[in-house]
Homo-oligomer: A and B are copies of this chain.
Amino acid sequence: VVDRREIETRGLERVVFFSDAVFAIAATLLVIDLRLPEGLANVSDSDFNLELGKLLPRVLIYVLSFAMVGLYWLVHWVRFQMIDRIDARLVILNLLLLGTVALIPFPTALIGEHGDRPVAVVIYALTLAAAGILGPVTWIYADRAGLIRDDIPPQVVRLGTLRGMSAPVVLLGSLSLLPFVGAGWVEASWLLIFVFQGLVTRRMARFDDAAEAEPPAS
């Protein structure tokens, strides 16, 4: 008889590596839009530098989107270290998450070129919020379906949900400012996501240390 457990582990590994590939490709495709227009071969150096300068907003949005994909990957990485079984529903929820992550190059290109238009800001925030919300959704599902390791204390599970919500909350909340402060300030407010993440990470680390010092009864 084949070892069921071993097969499940292999199946879980494959989901994780497939996810890694999608995250990695989405993150790396972001750079494709970072390019100069054609026909600059014969312009003067100062005109050339001017064109380069116009790329700056795209470089900034590249940095932001890479950081967001990196953050979502990091949270996925943390979560799947705490998940030790998998079922078809979790795989499908994970595919939904990957489908929105794979979409991120589109709003990135959109906001890189049209960052001053409110509709571009809305589409960017909605896409990234959707990808962000699907993280806690898979996490809550995994918790209810009993796919999370037994030795994870309930506070860590709850913090895992909270952590995942900070990005969507900031993204959606920022949209409410759009009519008052303009696209640029809304985009700047997204940096709060990384501040919140830092705070939750520090809190989780404290639980982690506590868990190491005093392991839960098993």
16 A-B contact pairs sorted by A residue (CB < 8 Å): A2-B150, A2-B151, A7-B81, A11-B77, A18-B20, A21-B24, A22-B24, A22-B27, A22-B28, A29-B29, A29-B31, A36-B113, A40-B114, A45-B119, A52-B123, A77-B91
How distant is A169 from chain B, measured CB to nearest CB, in Å?
21
A124 sits at the interface (CB 8 A):
no
User: How many identical chains are in the complex?
Assistant: 4
Q: Is the CB of B21 within 8 A of A14?
A: no
Q: Return chain B residues, CB-CB under 8 Å to A26.
A: 28, 31
Contact A17-B15, Cβ < 8 Å, known A24-B25, A74-B95, A81-B7:
no
A70 sits at the interface (CB 8 A):
yes
Q: Would you give the 0/1 interface string for A13-48, flagging 1 where the beta carbon is closer than 8 Å to chain B?
A: 111111011111111111110111000110001001
Give the interface of A toward B (CB within 8 A). 1-2, 7, 10-11, 13-18, 20-32, 34-36, 40-41, 45, 48-49, 52, 62-63, 66-67, 70, 73-74, 77-78, 80-81, 84, 88, 91-92, 95, 98-99, 102-103, 105-106, 109-110, 113-114, 117, 119, 123, 149-151, 201, 205, 215, 218
